[in-house]
């Protein structure tokens, strides 16, 4: 079995070699090295392990070794232009759908791409990432990307009304999107459940954008225009991507004239 699996991997590597016609002798040597390593592999059948070797070898040969200047620079520090917050869903990796290369995007992935309001005790995980990206890396663009058929949003929309048993942790997390859910239920009353979920996927991005502004360094960056807040939606059913900008106005104070007969009440 072990022999068979490493033979499989070796066959894959040879395929890789054939596919990349421009591969030079150096790369071929590396493949030989990997083959040698695989042959020394512990005698267990581990497809996960083979997958990782192949993936990394491909990256090293076709990306790292071809861009020595870039990787030399990156080894000394990162200065990404984007902070991206995307869902953990296996189908929506921003590096794939927005073609981010190493160094371009600092990235948080969580269920349903949510940003909770500022809370140092409850939400230090994502808070740490936002704090680091803004205060240490001086990232200028924050992009929250949602997507179609999001399991996290579906859970938010269906529980607890459907009477399903609660999860240990998921429900507690997705309830960050509760304001978006309530808004959708009100504004899209009568729509079917699936449609409401689509609306909520987008509305929840807006909720996260609003929450981002509860982080003082984000808020001050937005105010002095050094930070741009962007919302995105990847629809993998239709192959579409929507993008929008979050802005808030500082409006002139609005004076609403009070009817005179209420005047006396104001004294209370």
Partner 1 sequence: MAVPAPFSLSSDSFASKPSTTTIFGCAALKKGNFEQTHFRSCTAFRRNQGFTLKASMGPPGFTDKLNNNKLKTLADTEDGCDIFNDLKDRFLSFKKNKYLKNIDQYENLAKVQTPKFMVIACADSRVCPSNILGFQPGEAFMIRNIANLVPTFESGPSETNAALEFAVNTLLVENILVIGHSCCGGIRALMSMEDDDVERSFIKSWVIGGKNARIKAKAAGSNLSFDEQCTHCEKESINHSLLNLLTYPWIEEKVANKELSIHGGYYNFVDCSFEKWTLDYRETKLEENGRITAKNKIFWC
172 marked as part of a ligand binding site: no
Provide, rounded to whole angstroms, the least separation between the CB of residue 77 and partner 1. 8
Output DSSP code: residue 169. Answer: S
Check binding of 42 to partner 1 (CB under 8 A). Answer: yes
Please name which of 211, 200, 209 lies closest in space to residue 246, comparing C-alpha atoms.
209
Provide, rounded to whole angstroms, the least separation between the CB of residue 258 and partner 1. 20
Provide, rounded to whole angstroms, the least separation between the CB of residue 24 and partner 1. 16
Check binding of 132 to partner 1 (CB under 8 A). Answer: yes
* Backbone angles phi and psi of 92, in degrees to 5: -125, 25
* End-to-end CA separation in angstroms for the chain: 85
Check binding of 89 to Zn ion (CB under 5 A). Answer: yes
74 binds, among Zn ion, partner 1, none (CB under 5 to 8 A by kind): partner 1
| Options 18, 25, 26, 75; binder of partner 1; rule CB under 8 A | 75
Q: Which stretch binds partner 1 (CB under 8 A): 6-14, 21-29, 100-108, 189-197?
A: 100-108
Please name which of 137, 131, 129, 175 lies closest in space to residue 156, comparing C-alpha atoms.
175
Name the CA radius of gyration of the chain, rounded.
Answer: 25
150 binds, among Zn ion, partner 1, none (CB under 5 to 8 A by kind): Zn ion
Q: For residues 117 and 214, is the Cβ–Cβ distance under 8 A?
A: yes
Torsion of CA 106, 112, 118, 121, to 10 degrees: -100
| Options 150, 157, 197, 205; binder of Zn ion; rule CB under 5 A | 150
Q: Is the dihedral of CA 14, 51, 147, 221 positive or negative?
A: negative
Q: Which stretch binds Zn ion (CB under 5 A): 74-82, 86-94, 98-106, 155-163?
A: 86-94
Provide, rounded to whole angstroms, the least separation between the CB of residue 58 and partner 1. 5
Please name which of 127, 81, 140, 73 lies closest in space to residue 106, comparing C-alpha atoms.
81
Interface ranges with Zn ion (CB under 5 A): 87, 89, 150, 152
Positions at the binding site:
87, 89, 147, 150
């Amino acid at each position: 079995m072990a022999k068979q699996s490493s033979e499989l991997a070796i066959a894959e590597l040879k395929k890789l070699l054939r596919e990349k016609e421009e591969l030079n002798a150096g790369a071929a040597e590396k493949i030989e090295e990997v083959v040698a390593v695989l042959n020394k592999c512990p005698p267990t059948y581990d497809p996960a392990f083979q997958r990782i070797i192949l993936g990394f070898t491909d990256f090293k040969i076709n990306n790292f070794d071809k861009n020595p200047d870039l990787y030399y620079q990156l080894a000394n520090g990162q200065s990404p232009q984007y902070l991206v917050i995307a869902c953990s869903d296996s189908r929506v990796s921003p590096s794939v759908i927005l073609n981010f290369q190493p160094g371009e995007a600092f990235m948080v992935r969580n269920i349903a791409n949510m940003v909770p309001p500022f809370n140092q005790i409850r939400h230090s995980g994502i808070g740490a990432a936002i704090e680091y990206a803004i205060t240490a890396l001086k990232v200028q663009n924050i992009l929250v990307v949602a997507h179609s058929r999001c399991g996290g949003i579906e859970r938010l929309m269906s529980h607890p009304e459907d009477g399903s048993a609660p999860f240990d942790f998921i429900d507690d997390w997705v309830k960050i999107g509760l304001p978006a859910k309530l808004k959708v239920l009100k504004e899209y009353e009568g729509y079917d459940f699936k449609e409401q979920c689509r609306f909520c996927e987008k509305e929840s991005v807006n909720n996260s954008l609003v929450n981002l502004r509860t982080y003082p360094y984000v808020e001050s960056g937005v105010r002095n225009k050094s930070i741009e807040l962007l919302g995105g939606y990847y629809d993998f059913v239709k192959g579409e991507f929507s993008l929008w900008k979050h802005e808030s106005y500082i409006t002139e104070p609005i004076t609403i004239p009070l009817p005179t007969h209420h005047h006396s009440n104001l004294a209370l």
